[in-house]
Amino acid sequence: MSKVFVISNKKNIGHNIEKVLDKNYTGYDVIYVKQDELYFELIKTYKPESILLEFNNIKDSSYDIYNNLKNNINTKKIPIIALIEKGANKRIKAKALECGIDAFLFYSNEIIHNENLKQKNVFFNHFLASTKDAIFITNQSGQCIFCNNSAKKIFDFDNNEYTKQELYKYIVPEKNQSEYFDVINKLEKLDDKSSQTIELIICKKNEVKLYLELNLSFFEYNGSRHLFWLIRNTTETKTKEIELKAAKEKAEQSDKLKKAFLANISHEIRTPMNAIVGFSQLLSTTNDAQKINTYTNYINKSSLSLLKLIEDIVSISQIESENVKLRINEYNINDILDLMFEDFNRKISSEQKKYLKLFLKKERENQKLIIKTDKVRFEQILSNLLNNAIKFTENGFIEFGYNIENKKIIFYVRDTGLGINKDKLGVIFNRFEKIEVSKTKLYGGTGLGLAISKNLVDMLGGEIWVESEVGSGSVFYFSLPTKPFDDKNNAVDFTNQKNLQYDFNGKTILVAEDAEYNYLLLEEITELANVKIIWAKNGVEAVDKIKNCPDIDLVLMDMKMPKMNGYEATMKIKEIKPNIPIIGQSAYVMTVERKKAIKAGCDDYLSKPIILETLLQTLYKYLNH
């Protein structure tokens, strides 16, 4: 292997000599160093057969290097060839001859330039092939003379179809072509370093929408001006921008609706509270039985209205915090609908809507129709729809019931009320959305009922929708998934439950309640059922009463009490008397509180305010067995 030693301050000289030798000859090993490096030590190590020494100018250190090499015993016999650039000063060659140079090798900067250009072309080609951006180059006629792979992929180009016409006809949508020509005219007046950008939206053959950013600039090539197209696919970024903008607008709208809701809620709370406080004060000023009855009815009606409002707020809070837990069981749906028919008939009577009739239609009238669902949530959905129908229907009729279609049960509420504008049908299930249905009458409400119903239907795996026409009324539908219908006898039966006779004579109930007015309320209610009650003011007293009074049949346990809370008291009582029924009661209504109470040992759980009928039904459930 012949070793060639190159001494030059030009980095590319040695590299290019190595390439030339590799290309045309074999058996050469090229070592190159700068003139200021320790070339003597390297020559001694590598022992080259020849040395190529670059001469740059008259005062160049190359002459001193040459003399040093020739005067050194280790290098004086090695041939030294002068490297001189073509076109260099003739005196450089003359002086090299005077030194006694062995041979000359003339090189050209063009060779080095070409080599660099070749490297740049390799890099540029690699860039064009690997970039995700689409790149086109068009000539003065506007026809494409270059297209990279990314461009073909983005625009679904096969073969060379894009070369048949001017490129813009394939790339620029018709609606953007005027802007395209404006940009071209502007660029033609500017220098080649200028560029302009156009944003495009195109639909591919598969109808996928793409957002693109087209950057255009001119450049000179072979004496003519060409147009460089750089197209970046910004679909992902743009889609996120659109989503963020939509989310921002939705948040702003939600914030606006919430503010309106909070302003409205103040009115909705104060209206029934005004009636409750006012008529409660009036009760103490009269002995007239008719007036007392009227005032009491107003207080009851306002209390229920306030309770409904609170329940709606709690429900939407549970939904937003994803804290709604479903309690699925088998029910005879006909029983539930019959009881609801009685309730809402009474409601219509209490609101003195003499010209409004309520009808119930059941496709399977005389047989059990068993479905698996959450009874409380089912009643909540249907009650919201019926309450709305009563609110917005002054006369005519309201009909509710169900139809069976393809083993699918579809419930409905139909009314002959005011109806809803078609442009509002898409938003009525949104939270806090209240629709103005009349300019002559204000209707109360929070705007939460339909939003709650939709969320609950979704949770139960069903669908809800509406058909409506202004002046003709509305029909709200919702479907629930069910198993094949059957006539099983193990479903929970509610038939005639409201006609039960509550007489618990001989039974004793322990009421664990720290608030005296709550105890007095429970005392009055339980007196109606002929039951004996014992009062414990905290958890410690409740446990002691159980130890000392063996005749206690049931415990009504408030979960939040001093000294010992209801959870701890329940666990201790169950240790003493495992089979005694304990009914937890609390102003906390979240599902997690119910689960906590049941886990502590409670057999059932009631949320305050306690409804008389609900309490008596629950007592009947445990004291009658």
Banded pLDDT at 493 (limits 50, 70, 90): very low
Would you say the C-alpha torsion 283, 286, 292, 297 has a positive or negative sign? negative
Would you say the C-alpha torsion 333, 336, 338, 341 has a positive or negative sign? negative
Q: Express as a percent the part of the chain with pLDDT over 70.
A: 85
| Across 283-295, average pLDDT | 88
Question: Which one, of 497, 584, 598, 501, lies nearest residue 542 by Cα?
Answer: 584
| Across 166-176, average pLDDT | 88
Question: Which one, of 497, 493, 495, 479, lies nearest residue 370 by Cα?
Answer: 493
3-state secondary structure of 382: helix
pLDDT single digits (tens) 227-282: 988 999 998 888 898 899 988 888 887 777 677 667 667 766 777 788 888 888 88
More confident residue, 289 or 91: 289
Residues 209 and 200: their CA atoms lie apart, in Å, by: 10
Length of the chain: 625
Burial label, 134 (beta-carbon count in 10 A; 0-12, 13-18, 19+): buried
Encoding tokens for residue 166? 């001017």
Average pLDDT, the chain: 81
**What residues does 364 pair with on adjacent strands?**
none
Region class of 434: left (phi > 0), else alpha (psi between -120 and 50), else beta = beta
Q: Does residue 112 register a pLDDT over 70? A: no
Q: Does residue 83 register a pLDDT over 70? A: yes
pLDDT in the model for residue 37: 62
- Beta-carbon contacts of 70 under 8 Å, excluding residues fewer than 6 positions away, are 76, 80, 100
How many helices (DSSP H) and strands (DSSP E) are in the chain?
Answer: 18, 22
Q: Does residue 495 register a pLDDT over 50? A: no
Residues 12 and 14: their CA atoms lie apart, in Å, by: 6
Encoding tokens for residue 336? 């539930």
pLDDT single digits (tens) 403-421: 888 778 899 999 999 888 8
Would you say the C-alpha torsion 307, 308, 309, 310 has a positive or negative sign? positive
pLDDT in the model for residue 3: 78
pTM of the model: 0.47
Q: What are phi and psi of 465, to 5 degrees?
A: -155, 170
| Across 33-51, average pLDDT | 76
pLDDT in the model for residue 303: 86
Lowest mean pLDDT among 16-20, 221-225, 488-492: 488-492
Reduced 3-state DSSP string for 523-567: HHHHHCCCCEEEEECCHHHHHHHHHHCCCCCEEEEECCCCCCCHH
Burial label, 382 (beta-carbon count in 10 A; 0-12, 13-18, 19+): buried
Q: Does residue 96 register a pLDDT over 70? A: yes
pLDDT single digits (tens) 153-165: 888 887 777 777 8
